[in-house]
Structure 1
């Protein structure tokens, strides 16, 4: 019954979003409808990914969930890049990273911890994840310092941005080889390989088909949402930084929210951590660099560099620091979830006042 209501809501909100866009409804109303619609389609994407993960295994499943969960954010960001809204793109990248590390992981740890006194996962995997996130921070910090202090020319800035982007993509691809192939057994989690007798929602073929359909729906609703952003931010006097870092990031993270929390409440905290932290890694080491390269194709006269503002670097830095501190021992409890969420609220207030 619950699943039928979900799919009814999905169809209704997708249809309303389409009608609002092509019928040129009030921009604020379009924004609200599109935001609700993208939560539904992201949830649909999460369900399809979870079903595919049943056949692919939980380790690969966590990666697939993070990848397709980030599809919504990547598609939204590509449309923003096409419109030349580079500051909002950088803010949405920042919001995605801190949203996954603080909001998604925080809610998963809190709700899982309320049900189980302590939840454990592979500490070695957590250590590697923390090291990779530190690399991401350093890779974003270095261009910001050199470009600003040394007053790099536009050509130097572009060359450095493209070089760093390519290096980060290579690092991410090598991490996949390391974690999925050469050291797969060392980083495995026992609870991540157990399905607890659960049945997938669909057959293998239908699951893949649903994944494709969900991704296409995300692409359409993302374009309709981006179309309303400029009017929405001006009407309510919100900064691009706040809208990108919190509004777009929360909406785009809907798939990870639902999947990670459900897994944590089934005592699969390792899979939940894999989704939350793995998604942040993917954003920092793959999605952001890809957007840098894509911007050079869309905009011949202007392009997006990899220089983030001090505010954005601070937000990412403190989020990585507390997430690494909490996860390094391979065990979590509900209070650690509270700490992550409190930092997210603090950053939310600070960004709103910018």
Structure 2
């Protein structure tokens, strides 16, 4: 996989040249997207190499955190430009994409080769239940504002959003304490090393991580700058870009890893990538973006009605599928089908 991604690095200098020569917004969006995908892969590879020099638990935490770093960087630039709809849609889209598209594709690919696959039921129950409660908590402010008479509400929701973000962030810290200390035995089987050794030195891994992060920041600025003119010229909605395109671009490398792990019959890893990444988006990335928005223009955490419905339905379905500790290709097809239906609806906006 990394061999293919290395060839895609050619799009980085092309996108830089395109920025100076003022290529059309659509072309710049495509070039930036094609540049971010291999950079995200390099960031993931660097993080994985660093994990060999730490404990397995710390390594797993670093992989999960930097797995969402690309999307976080893109969202920060979108915040700076005031594209709040894109940022909120990307938060919802990341969760929906992970629990439907990534988990579904993993179950489909793994199920075709291995018929029925098993994974750690206890870990999936803890993760999927935490995700369900987190999304419900994230949905409460939206339900609150959408159901009450607007005359009874303060027109500004910054205080509510910051309060909810703070609670979510505290839950995230407590979930780390739960998995690292009080209930680490549940995760012990998933955190054992398989005898693999680092291919890079620690200095090289750190250098790759730093350089990839800087390059992603540059390409993210190109990408975000092209969103509005590109959507206008193609007749797309910012919701579609935020909920479908941005999450796929930011997490493409991580998504491919989950599918490869499923094909290798390592369904535990694939499920944890899909559900664990979604959990971190809700409990870590979303609150951090709310806090960062205070430096520019405060962003509310209120989702529109369809984003809300898509989020809740996606998590309920994934929760149901993942709780039995087994998967097959038909369950994968079902998850992908729901994702396609949601994507088509957003495309029609």
Deviation at 1:172, TM superposition (A): 0.6
Q: Judging changes above 3 Å, is the alpha-carbon distance between structure 1 residues 58 and 268 closer, same or farther for their aligned structure 2 residues?
A: farther
| Structure-to-structure mapping, 1:1-354, within 5 angstroms | 6-10=5-9, 12-56=10-54, 59-148=57-146, 149-151=148-150, 152-155=153-156, 157-190=157-190, 193-195=192-194, 197-299=195-297, 303-354=298-349
Rounded Cα–Cα distance in structure 1 between residues aligned with 2:196 and 2:261: 12
- The worse-fitting range, judged by mean Cα deviation, of 244-253 and 215-224 is 215-224
- The worse-fitting range, judged by mean Cα deviation, of 35-44 and 307-316 is 35-44
CA deviation profile, 1:45-68 (whole Å, cap 9, x unmatched): 222223233444655444323321
Deviation at 1:87, TM superposition (A): 1.0
Rounded Cα–Cα distance in structure 1 between residues aligned with 2:47 and 2:107: 21
Q: Extract unaligned runs of 5+ from structure 2.
A: none
CA deviation profile, 1:286-343 (whole Å, cap 9, x unmatched): 11111112112112xxx21111111001111111011111110122222211111111
Rounded Cα–Cα distance in structure 1 between residues aligned with 2:99 and 2:259: 13
User: 1:66 touches 1:276 (CA, 8 Å); kept in 2?
Assistant: no
Q: Judging changes above 3 Å, is the alpha-carbon distance between structure 1 residues 147 and 127 closer, same or farther for their aligned structure 2 residues?
A: same
Deviation at 1:4, TM superposition (A): 5.4
SS of 1:307's equivalent?
coil
Deviation at 1:43, TM superposition (A): 1.7
- The worse-fitting range, judged by mean Cα deviation, of 223-232 and 213-222 is 213-222
User: 1:17 touches 1:33 (CA, 8 Å); kept in 2?
Assistant: yes
Rounded Cα–Cα distance in structure 2 between residues aligned with 1:57 and 1:332: 30
CA deviation profile, 1:247-284 (whole Å, cap 9, x unmatched): 11111111211221222222221122111111101111
Rounded Cα–Cα distance in structure 1 between residues aligned with 2:346 and 2:308: 13
Deviation at 1:198, TM superposition (A): 4.1
Rounded Cα–Cα distance in structure 1 between residues aligned with 2:26 and 2:99: 30
User: 1:111 touches 1:264 (CA, 8 Å); kept in 2?
Assistant: yes
SS of 1:298's equivalent?
coil
Q: Judging changes above 3 Å, is the alpha-carbon distance between structure 1 residues 3 and 259 closer, same or farther for their aligned structure 2 residues?
A: closer
Q: Judging changes above 3 Å, is the alpha-carbon distance between structure 1 residues 138 and 6 closer, same or farther for their aligned structure 2 residues?
A: closer
Deviation at 1:150, TM superposition (A): 4.6
SS of 1:332's equivalent?
strand
Rounded Cα–Cα distance in structure 1 between residues aligned with 2:112 and 2:270: 15
Q: CA RMSD in A?
A: 1.9
4+ residue stretches of structure 1 with deviation over 3 A?
A: 2-6, 53-63, 197-201
User: 1:46 touches 1:258 (CA, 8 Å); kept in 2?
Assistant: no
Q: Extract unaligned runs of 5+ from structure 1.
A: none
